[in-house]
Amino acid sequence: MIHVARIWYLAVVFTLSAVECYGAGVIAPKSMTRFNVICPAKKLLPQMAIQYSACRKGNEDSCDAFVDTFRTLSPVYDCQRDFDSTDTVNYIVPAISLAGDIDALKYMKLLSELRSKNAQEFFASKLFRSTLDGEAAEEYYYRSLRLERFLKQKAQQPNSNKSESQGARQSNAPCQENGVLSARPRQPAERLSSENFKIIIGDRP
């Protein structure tokens, strides 16, 4: 049963890829003969590593900076890894791909745990989903879609509670209990996403 569900999941993701440019690499224009010239990865990835560490320790300013840096590193630019070039074709990838799979995955994990408006809107965006490939796509593609749908529905509610929204903006960093990172948001953000949040981060189909 699990095997059948997984096949269905991958088939749907493959179908959506044709609609939303899902997948991390694209073929470079033939006119592009030089790579990593304007790509910001070399400059921003060291900063992102510092922001990531500080954000995990609860520094909300660093969390905001981390999200902004992630957003800046998401477009393709002219970024290329060593193995993105062949004798017949050159590929270009989102700048965040140059962080390597291990670091990129841990950055995506932290982003998915942040509760600020800025972080959630970026996690729910097509721009973020355009950076996903392989294991990252399997883990975060549908979660991003669910959150996008939830945020759209919430924005359409005429009687949304302003005080709760303000509380959510104040809870930028992931919750820490006794120095241990937790995915459970602090109050009052937890009131904002009590039942609906379970839908967002629930198991993939």
pLDDT surpasses 90 at 59:
yes
pLDDT tens per residue across span 93-150: 999 999 999 999 999 999 999 999 999 999 999 999 999 999 999 999 999 999 999 9
Whole-angstrom Cα distance, residue 157 to residue 160? 6
pLDDT tens per residue across span 24-38: 689 999 999 999 999
Task: Of 41, 15, 33, give the one whose Cα is nearest residue 93.
Answer: 41
What are the structure tokens assigned to 98, written together? Answer: 């140059």
